[in-house]
Homo-oligomer: A and B are copies of this chain.
């Protein structure tokens, strides 16, 4: 399959929908809405939305069914980046080559833009018009899936342990906790949300969950590796910044070769988990390989 055009078509659908659903820059408070849109349209790859769409398609669902959830996942991902970049957290001045929110605006605006994006994500999930034709019970299930993946037992929990561990020796279980929570939990939630909205049965959800768990961790290991060997012009991040900051990473703990092997193994496992879903899961499989072998 042609993954490039698959991604391009879906990225486009997601971008159009995000632009449609996000509050306009002409609405008060202008600066807050500008800041929300600045970060959402800062060149993200829309991985989480596309994963939720591909998961729905793997079950025979449509893009339309899953588009509000897809956009809400991107809003949540974006808010997490804005807050992670803050001076009290990773203190990053640039992301994808552009000033981070608190540098482009100010710290208060960045905090509030993140808060507003997180809130808007749930507003959109509950929006009756956006979700016309989808059963309310299913939407509630998806809200619970996404909130759990994003909250203190998921993404925020992973970030909290990451912050606590900075600069200290981290053992392997702690590193795995950070990675499976900070990045893995929202990726898993994206896949599960897509499956749930498309009406996945128990076995199908099990396949998607196995995929999401392995692919999410593989993605973060690939991210760690890219931070060392990646081309700064492509990744938009200073090479070696994790190491300079004393961040816990797979390459730091296992070495580069073993980290690569681990990512590869997880990718194989993610792909194998989808076998019960047949041909319809081909894009999802290609996405897992792409997540591990990307260069930005």
Q: Does A15 contact B (CB under 8 A)?
A: no
Contacts of A126 in B (CB 8 A): 140-141, 143-144, 147
Q: A116-B151, A150-B119, A163-B109 are in contact. Are A32 and B157 (CB under 8 A)?
A: yes
A108:B163 contact, CB within 8 angstroms: yes
A159 at the B interface (CB under 8 A): yes
Q: Specify the main secondary structure of chain A where it touches its partner.
A: helix
- Tell me, in angstroms, the Cα distance from A164 to B291 when the chains sit together: 41
Subset of 15 A-B contacts with CB under 8 Å = A23-B152, A28-B177, A83-B111, A88-B102, A88-B107, A89-B111, A111-B111, A116-B151, A120-B147, A123-B143, A126-B140, A126-B144, A127-B144, A128-B140, A136-B140
Q: Which among A31, A112, A125, A139 has the greatest number of chain B C-beta atoms within 10 A?
A: A112
- Chain B residues whose CB sits within 8 angstroms of the CB of A161 once the complex forms: 28-29
Contact of A119 (CB < 8 Å), options: B112, B156, B160 = B156
A282 to B148, CA, bound (A): 38
Question: Which residues of B sit under 8 angstroms from A88, Cβ to Cβ?
Answer: 102, 106-108, 111
Interface pair A147/B122, CB less than 8 Å apart? yes
Q: Give the contacts of A113-144 with B (CB-CB under 8 A).
A: 114-116, 118-120, 122-123, 125-128, 135-137, 139-141, 143-144
Q: Does the CB pair A147–B119 fall under 8 Å?
A: yes
- Expressed in whole angstroms, the minimum distance between the Cβ of A250 and any Cβ of chain B is 20
